[in-house]
Amino acid sequence: MSEFDIQYKELVSDILKNGYYAENRTEDNTKKVFGKVITVNLQQEFPMLTLKFTPFKSLVNEMRWIYQIQSNDVTWLQERKIHIWDEWANEKNTIGNAYGYIVNKHKQMDKLLADLKNNNQSRRMMINLWQCEDLNKMMLTPCMFNSIWDVNDGHLNTHVTIRSSDVALGLPFNVAQMSVLNHMLAQVSGLKAGRIIFCLTNAHIYEQHFEAMKEILNREPYDAPIFSLNKNIKDFYSFTDKDVNLLNYKYHPHIKMRVSV
């Protein structure tokens, strides 16, 4: 049984039962809770949600778009039939100075890779997408905005901060994405994937998702799938979506849910 799915159900239950009903920047109200933590040991399982179908290749390519391609151009995603960012695209079909733009502007992945290979006991290994001088030039400010990386006994660990977590739609993507990124970075740095901690400041469920999430609570988790990564890749920028796969991914049916813009 998937340990991530168990934690996910506990979080969903907590929000629906105890959440504070609140307005937000969208037209859809939420129930929210403060200060939740999800922990994953990548040596024990890959945290791919089994409680509902989650498109693995789509989330992998969105992660690559940010951290590997380092682009803000939504066209790259659309060419791969990914339309997650269509609602936020501007007249140039970009999301402004956000996400991949910031990674590239400050060469954050290059710095992280250099430290992982040459100075992995540094306490300054970080990717920070919250850059104040660019916030007013972003179509959407980053939700999963910060990750801190740490190496213990040859294992790569990650601390992730999500300031605003859409638990129904965003969180399953984010957890799997950062887990894939951890595996990739560990491999090219001569390390093993380790543990990830996700710290959720505002964990919420939108009102229109309440019934879907109640259905999630009625479902029993399957065993976590097996993660597979092409072991021949030694350069982070050489990975493609074909190098990343899941084996034995068993899941409950997809639940269609509208995204709040």
Annotated active-site residue in 125, 143, 156, 180? 143
User: Amino acid identity of 141?
Assistant: T
Distance, CA of 252 to CA of 44 (rounded, Å)? 22
The CA distance from 215 to 253, in Å, is: 11
Gap between the Cα atoms of 61 and 66, Å rounded? 9
- CA 236 and chain centroid, separation: 18
What CA–CA distance (Å, rounded) separates 26 from 12? Answer: 20
Angle at 36 between CA 3 and CA 39, to 5 degrees: 35
Q: Whole-angstrom Cα distance, residue 191 to residue 6? A: 28
Mapping DSSP onto H, E and C, the string for 103-117 reads: HHHCCHHHHHHHHHH
> Could you tell me if 163 and 145 are in contact, meaning their C-beta atoms sit under 8 angstroms apart?
yes
Q: Is 143 a catalytic residue?
A: yes
Which residues are identified as catalytic? 143
